[in-house]
Amino acid sequence: MSYLGVGVSPGKVPVYHESGLKVVDRKVRVAELILRAAICGLAFVAALLVATDTQVKEIFSIQKKAKFTDMKALVILVVVNGIAAAYSLVQTFRCLVSMLRGSVLFNKPLAWLIFSSDQLMAYVIVAAIGAAAQSAAFAKLGEAELEWMKVCDMYGKFCNQVGEGIASSVFVCASMVIVSAISAFSLFRLYGGTTA
């Protein structure tokens, strides 16, 4: 086998061997596609779980309905998950088209845009989860010093479904952090000595 990666078969027909870098690049692109599709699905599920969550409780013949709009942190969580799902859907199609065409991202401004957008989405999701988790903690545990009652004692189903939505959002966040690392890899390899 020659140093160029081109071997010679016994019949004098050139045989091309894939370099290790191309195999790694393909695996990274497949991982990115799978993660972006998972983010899209999980973010949609999280938004749906929280947005459709309601529970009616009757207190002294007065019906009180708990819904996600009662806590602004949950409204923000729904909006952020909706944006993350839409963004990931667009990026999933971009990855799919790139894989089908066999093209590699060589455009530095586009790579910077994707990297920055992924970072922004990861940070916004972290902030939304933090706010929603804090609100959920107050609902579950109450705050005796401020005389806030444990709302989840009355609205158990509501709190459980919100918890499922927050858990789904945590998986979205973890996946988005990994995707951000992949986009950072894709960006900063453009500045290396060789291009794949």
Does residue 155 surpass a pLDDT of 80?
Answer: no
Of the two residues 53 and 72, the one the predictor is more confident about is 72
**Distance from CA of residue 49 to its chain's centroid?**
16
Distance CA 180, CA 125 (A): 13
Does this model's pTM top 0.85? My answer is no
Q: Are 84 and 36 in contact (CB under 8 A)?
A: no
Q: Collapsing DSSP states into helix, strand and coil, what is residue 86?
A: helix
Q: Collapsing DSSP states into helix, strand and coil, what is residue 8?
A: strand
Does residue 141 surpass a pLDDT of 90?
Answer: no
The domains of the chain, with CATH numbers, are 19-191 (1.20.140)
- 10 pLDDT band, cuts 50/70/90, is low
Kindly give, in sequence order, each residue whose CB lies less than 8 Å from that of residue 73, ignoring residues fewer than 6 positions away: 128, 131, 132, 134, 135
Distance CA 23, CA 63 (A): 61
The pLDDT score that the predictor gives to residue 47 is 92
The pLDDT score that the predictor gives to residue 157 is 84
- 99 pLDDT band, cuts 50/70/90, is confident
- 195 pLDDT band, cuts 50/70/90, is very low
Mean pLDDT of the chain: 81
Does residue 143 surpass a pLDDT of 60?
Answer: yes
